[in-house]
């Protein structure tokens, strides 16, 4: 049984990349459909879809899923900071409109 070297990245099949690409296209189509419908929760839904698309890009195309935990935390920390800033900004805006 061979052990994986420290810098060796496992080979991912083209089929996996194809499925991820199809998932990204489906999420893009959903984003466009939500934007055209002008739904009440379009902003939150589109931000959630953007987060999912970024997660797929980071973990599959950039191979972040094969990195150590420390690097994952360092990369994901600004994303969560950005999400918290967006949530706080829109909660303040909705509070001011309601009051």
Contact, 45 vs 34, CB < 8 A?
Answer: yes
pLDDT in tens, the chain (99 residues): 455 566 666 677 889 889 999 999 999 999 999 988 877 778 888 888 998 998 898 888 887 877 888 888 888 898 889 889 988 988 888 888 876
Contact, 32 vs 53, CB < 8 A?
Answer: no
Does the pTM of the predicted model rise above 0.95?
no
């Amino acid at each position: 049984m061979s052990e994986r070297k420290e810098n060796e990245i496992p080979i991912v099949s083209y089929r996996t990349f194809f499925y991820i690409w199809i998932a990204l296209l489906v999420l893009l189509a959903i984003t466009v459909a939500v934007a055209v419908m002008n739904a009440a929760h379009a902003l939150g839904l589109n931000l959630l879809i953007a987060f999912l698309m970024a997660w797929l890009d980071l973990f599959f195309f950039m191979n972040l899923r094969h990195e150590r935990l420390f690097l994952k935390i360092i990369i994901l920390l600004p994303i969560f900071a950005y999400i918290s800033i967006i949530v706080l900004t829109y909660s303040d805006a909705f509070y001011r409109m309601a009051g």
